[in-house]
Amino acid sequence: MKKQLLKLFTVVFMVLLLAACGSSTETVNKNEDVSLPPEEEKVDASEPADEIEEEPALTAEQVLEKTTEATAELKSYSMDMNINQKITLNDEEPIEMKTTSKSDLTLSPLAMYQSTKMNDPTMGIEMESETYFTEEGFFTYDPTFGEWYKFPSEFTAELIELTEMQQQNPAEQLEILKSFSDELSMTEEGNEYILTFEGNGDQYEELINATIPMMGDDMGEMLEEVLSMMKINHISYKIHVDKETLVQTKMFITMDMEMEIEGEVMSMYQEMDMSLYNYNEIDEIVIPQEVLDNAQEFSFDDFEDLDFDFEYEEEEEEN
């Protein structure tokens, strides 16, 4: 039961992660040269000081707009991620999961390689997995069975379509983000702007629901179904933005949520921090031939067991 739920969360998390990668890096103009923003014009030091105009301070909304545009111009980057989760099913002992991952992403074409380590000290479980996503498909290694699995081609096609739609609608994406700018606050620390968003579940669900129409039918339906079972109590984002390049360097997310399945309630508290680096330094991501040759077909029918029979599974565990 617990493993099935963890696998479900893994699939949904990967969809949201790739969707986020697409939306935060959409191309402002596909015909423009893709590079980091140029440095500001240097002022001649010989000019009288009173003639040097100081640039006005940026607002949180302006920084949000500029970092959206600057990040959109990246060709590739690396990302390190640490996730701490505490999952509780009814009154059972909580499961504490610690996950670390390293990812390389390219944006044109969209592709990703990710290595992940999961550690559950309460159950004595430690797993390592890998994921590839390119135009050839979405492949993931399941350490439980020691097998590579290939997701349905429809799933891959919808991820690519989602990204392309976001690339063609940068203004729409930005407007969605701007609609939440009233909840944004900003501070400065050294050479970084720090944007902070604090919201309740309704605000976050509104943000996710605003992006669902841009997704394919199957993916949109899956996320709508998952959201219908979820109650998000609180969420906060903290985004670090480099003042010079205006690209995002770090992100911290905390979320407190509940999910109800067949009358049983599962609560989850999650802390996640991400670091972005290696801008425009990632080579082409290629799936190894061994993975292509040996991957088993994965079916989302495996998750039709979401009508989980808790009593049956509990009896099974007792036996």
Domain assignments of the chain as residue spans, ordered by start? 2-25+60-318
Report helix, strand or coil for 243. coil
* 88-101 per-position pLDDT tens digit: 888 788 888 899 99
110/315: higher pLDDT: 110
Angle ∠(78,159,242) on CA atoms, nearest 5: 30
Averaged pLDDT, 37-54: 47
> Of 163, 186, 157, 148, whose CA–CA distance to 66 is shortest?
186
> What's the rounded Cα separation, in Å, for the pair 308 and 261?
8
pLDDT at 109: 82
> What's the rounded Cα separation, in Å, for the pair 79 and 160?
20
Q: Which letter, b or e, does each residue of 243-266 get, where b requires 16 or more Cβ atoms within 10 Å of its Cβ?
A: eebbbbbbbbbbbbbebebeeeeb
198/130: higher pLDDT: 130
Q: Which region holds residue 246: left if phi is over 0, alpha if psi is between -120 and 50, else beta?
A: left
Q: 146 pLDDT exceeds 80?
A: yes
pLDDT at 36: 46
What topology does CATH give the domain 2-25+60-318?
outer membrane lipoprotein receptor (LolB), chain A (2.50.20)
4/194: higher pLDDT: 194
pLDDT band at 309 (very low <50, low <70, confident <90, very high): very low
Most confident of 121-125, 175-179, 295-299: 295-299
150/4: higher pLDDT: 150
pTM of the model as a whole: 0.72
Query: For residue 215, what is the DSSP state?
Result: S
Q: 70 pLDDT exceeds 80?
A: yes
pLDDT at 266: 85
pLDDT at 44: 52
191/314: higher pLDDT: 191
pLDDT band at 264 (very low <50, low <70, confident <90, very high): confident
pLDDT at 205: 66
Which of 62-71, 126-135, 239-248, 287-296 has the lowest average pLDDT? 62-71
Strand-by-strand arrangement of the 137-142 sheet: 184-189, 192-199, 230-242, 248-261, 264-277, 76-89, 95-107, 110-120, 125-134, 137-142, 147-150, 296-297
Cα 298 off chain centre by: 22
Q: What percent of the chain has pLDDT over 70?
A: 61
> What's the rounded Cα separation, in Å, for the pair 126 and 212?
34
309/260: higher pLDDT: 260
Which of 151-155, 222-226, 232-236, 274-278 has the lowest average pLDDT? 222-226
Which of 2-6, 90-94, 219-223, 263-267 has the lowest average pLDDT? 2-6
The first and second tokens of residue 142, run together, are 């399941």
Mean pLDDT rounded to a whole number for the chain: 74
pLDDT at 280: 94
